[in-house]
Chains A and B, each alone.
Chain A
Amino acid sequence: MNTYEIIVVGGGPAGLAAAIEAHKSGAKNILILERDRELGGILQQCIHNGFGLHIFKEELTGPEYAERFIREMDALGIEYRLDTMVLEVRNDRTVDIISSKHGFETLQAKAIVLAMGCRERTRGAINIPGTRPAGVYSAGAAQRFVNMEGLMVGKRVVVLGSGDIGLIMARRMTLEGAKVLAVAEILPYSGGLTRNIVQCLYDYDIPLYLSHTITSIEGRDRVEGVTIAQVDTKRQPIPGTEIHYDCDTLLLSVGLIPENELSKTAGIQLDPVTGGPVVNECMETSVPGIFACGNVVQVHDLVDWVTEESRKAGRNAARLVLGQITEGEPDLRTRANHGVRYVVPHTIRIENIEKEIDLMMRVTDPFKNKYLVVKHGEDVVKKVRKAHLTPGEMESMKIPVEKLRGLTGELTVCLEEVAHEA
């Protein structure tokens, strides 16, 4: 059986950053497994700009961001395999893989980094009524067809969901000559960045209907039309508010789900809120020696944060292999409270924190002017004033290790009111 120090599952931004950082941290025998025909993951189809502002201090497209990491990985001589599917990851850190070139193999690792990313929610996941014709695409599938294969998916388009991928695709389809008739969003606010709403929709006079959803898809072989309607506070369609569009295409941008099939068969504990593994301060899952990072843990809004989180996972996987991690029960558990939906990481062993711990979180609803507070019991560990909070933008708080030393029990993260100033 082939043996590696570290096996990385997935060659997208998370896997690349983890492998590079593991190498720089002293692990040398590393293998990246990628199921697609090339490295880079979803970045290769995200041809728009806006990537890398934090990591590179410049605005890159997805393929440019990916290529910088691929070059670095190549320069370090890290081994990778393309067109290779991972079938199973086990808690003894063996991995079953299959490829046309080498057939079925089982590999052994000292540490594994899971970096499988996420998948789009599909029509089936949100139960849209109507017929089932061709022409209903997830926004990401359409993006791959248009940007990588050079295939146009339709001429008259309605988009359901106002996440960033949906907004980006509304502009992209317009630039390629399609007519985008409307974007419907079931929530009273958009999950996409303001920048994208302005530059992808308003620039091209594409209407955005908030608190609206699709109530019907028509057409037998191909989409012929869709009907949208306003929804009430319980998200039920309001009769009489229907708008009908003649169209041949419906794009769905209705959320992303961490892809954890492999994690489940490995017996890794998942967080029902994030949909990703429960992780500790090292980004290690509930199975010792198996780490996770990027969108498989929590769906990020910026690839820069995926890179940052994955560097942490890669570095700690290397530290584990080199015997630099103290195993044992966690000192602290994190908990989301009032206004905060989740916190990552879930557990903390203070001894393993090198300098500071980065707590990442999302809020439950849009808020203005609140304190984001980390507490131990009634004691405030850190408090930051936020002018603007929205579920679409991940928040993070860095806490120096000195502030945590000696603490046990629970660390809660919540929102608190800002007292009125005179």
Chain B
Amino acid sequence: MKRDLICIVCPMGCRCSIEEDTSAPKGYKVTGITCKRGEDYAIKEVTEPTRMLTSTVRIEGARLPRLPVRTSGAIPKERIGECMALINQLQVRHPVAMGQVLLKNLFDTNVNLIASRSL
């Protein structure tokens, strides 16, 4: 199946198409892209897309009601909804330090949910 993508690797924003091609070295034919990094991005985007996720969790006893959090690395894109559900259930207590792990090894990805400020 052919998919149209916009590359986000650099500000050029190449519009490209990607489709499976068993004869190509990496198994995909990418057209409209102007660099190697862009080609890698396009292949990753159709095979195993990942995203960083940032949000907030409830915090008790701090001077603000919400603590900003992020994943320590990128997680599979299709897990974002599940990850938000976990984040929404979470409640932490003051004090929390920047970088502190709040949830370990999300979806067996070795990625943690961490506090993104001290509060």
Query: A residues near B, CB below 8 A?
Result: 37, 44, 47-49, 59-61, 63-64, 66-67, 146-150, 175-176, 193-195, 197-199, 202-203, 387-388, 390, 393
Interface residue B8 (Cβ < 8 Å from any Cβ of A): yes
Q: How far is the CB of B49 from chain A (nearest CB, A)?
A: 9
- Kindly list chain B residues whose C-beta atoms are within 8 Å of the C-beta of A44: 117
Question: Does B98 contact A149, Cβ atoms closer than 8 Å?
Answer: no
- Cα A48 to Cα B12 with chains together (Å): 23
Chain A: CB-nearest residue to B116: A61
Contacts A147-B68, A149-B65 given; does A198 touch B8 at CB 8 Å: yes
Interface residue B11 (Cβ < 8 Å from any Cβ of A): yes
- Cα A59 to Cα B12 with chains together (Å): 20
Interface residue B44 (Cβ < 8 Å from any Cβ of A): no
Chain A: CB-nearest residue to B34: A387
- Kindly list chain A residues whose C-beta atoms are within 8 Å of the C-beta of B13: 194, 388
Question: Does A198 contact B6, Cβ atoms closer than 8 Å?
Answer: yes
By Cβ-Cβ distance, the 6 closest A-B pairs, closest first, are A63-B117, A194-B13, A47-B68, A195-B8, A61-B116, A150-B66
Question: Does B68 contact A199, Cβ atoms closer than 8 Å?
Answer: no
B56-72 contact mask (Cβ, 8 Å, vs A): 1 or 0 = 10100001111010100
* Contact partner, A175, options B84, B116, B117, Cβ 8 Å: B84
Question: Does B11 contact A393, Cβ atoms closer than 8 Å?
Answer: yes
* Contact partner, B65, options A48, A49, A150, Cβ 8 Å: A150
Contacts A148-B64, A149-B65 given; does A390 touch B52 at CB 8 Å: no
Chain B: CB-nearest residue to A147: B56
- List 22 A-B residue pairs with CB atoms under 8 Å apart, sorted by A's residue number: A44-B117, A47-B54, A61-B116, A63-B68, A64-B116, A67-B117, A147-B56, A147-B68, A148-B64, A150-B56, A150-B65, A150-B66, A175-B84, A176-B55, A193-B11, A194-B6, A197-B6, A198-B6, A198-B8, A203-B77, A388-B13, A390-B11
B residues 1-43 touching A (CB-CB < 8 Å): 6-8, 11-13
- Kindly list chain B residues whose C-beta atoms are within 8 Å of the C-beta of A67: 98, 117-118
- Cα A388 to Cα B7 with chains together (Å): 14
Interface residue B94 (Cβ < 8 Å from any Cβ of A): no
- Kindly list chain A residues whose C-beta atoms are within 8 Å of the C-beta of B104: none
Contacts A199-B51, A203-B77 given; does A47 touch B116 at CB 8 Å: yes
* Contact partner, A61, options B54, B64, B65, B77, Cβ 8 Å: B54
- Cα A203 to Cα B68 with chains together (Å): 22
Contacts A63-B116, A147-B66 given; does A48 touch B54 at CB 8 Å: yes
Question: Does B55 contact A47, Cβ atoms closer than 8 Å?
Answer: yes
Query: B residues near A, CB below 8 A?
Result: 6-8, 11-13, 51-56, 58, 63-66, 68, 70, 77, 80, 84, 98, 116-118
Which of B11, B53, B65, B80 has its CB near the most chain A CB atoms (within 10 A)? Answer: B11
- Kindly list chain B residues whose C-beta atoms are within 8 Å of the C-beta of A149: 64-66
Question: Does B66 contact A61, Cβ atoms closer than 8 Å?
Answer: no
- Cα A175 to Cα B81 with chains together (Å): 8
Chain B: CB-nearest residue to A151: B65
- Kindly list chain B residues whose C-beta atoms are within 8 Å of the C-beta of A198: 6, 8
Given contacts A147-B68, A387-B12, 18 further A-B pairs with CB under 8 A are A44-B117, A47-B54, A47-B55, A47-B68, A47-B70, A63-B117, A148-B64, A149-B65, A150-B65, A150-B66, A175-B55, A194-B8, A194-B13, A198-B8, A199-B51, A203-B51, A388-B12, A388-B13
- Cα A41 to Cα B54 with chains together (Å): 19
- Cα A395 to Cα B64 with chains together (Å): 38
- Kindly list chain B residues whose C-beta atoms are within 8 Å of the C-beta of A49: 52, 54, 70
- Kindly list chain B residues whose C-beta atoms are within 8 Å of the C-beta of A390: 11
- Kindly list chain B residues whose C-beta atoms are within 8 Å of the C-beta of A147: 56, 66, 68
- Kindly list chain B residues whose C-beta atoms are within 8 Å of the C-beta of A60: 116
Chain B: CB-nearest residue to A66: B117
Contacts A47-B54, A47-B56, A194-B11 given; does A61 touch B68 at CB 8 Å: yes
- Cα A61 to Cα B11 with chains together (Å): 20
- Cα A175 to Cα B53 with chains together (Å): 10
- Cα A210 to Cα B66 with chains together (Å): 35
- Kindly list chain B residues whose C-beta atoms are within 8 Å of the C-beta of A388: 11-13
- Kindly list chain A residues whose C-beta atoms are within 8 Å of the C-beta of B116: 47, 60-61, 63-64
- Kindly list chain B residues whose C-beta atoms are within 8 Å of the C-beta of A48: 54
- Kindly list chain B residues whose C-beta atoms are within 8 Å of the C-beta of A387: 12
Q: How far is the CB of B73 from chain A (nearest CB, A)?
A: 10
Q: How far is the CB of B53 from chain A (nearest CB, A)?
A: 8
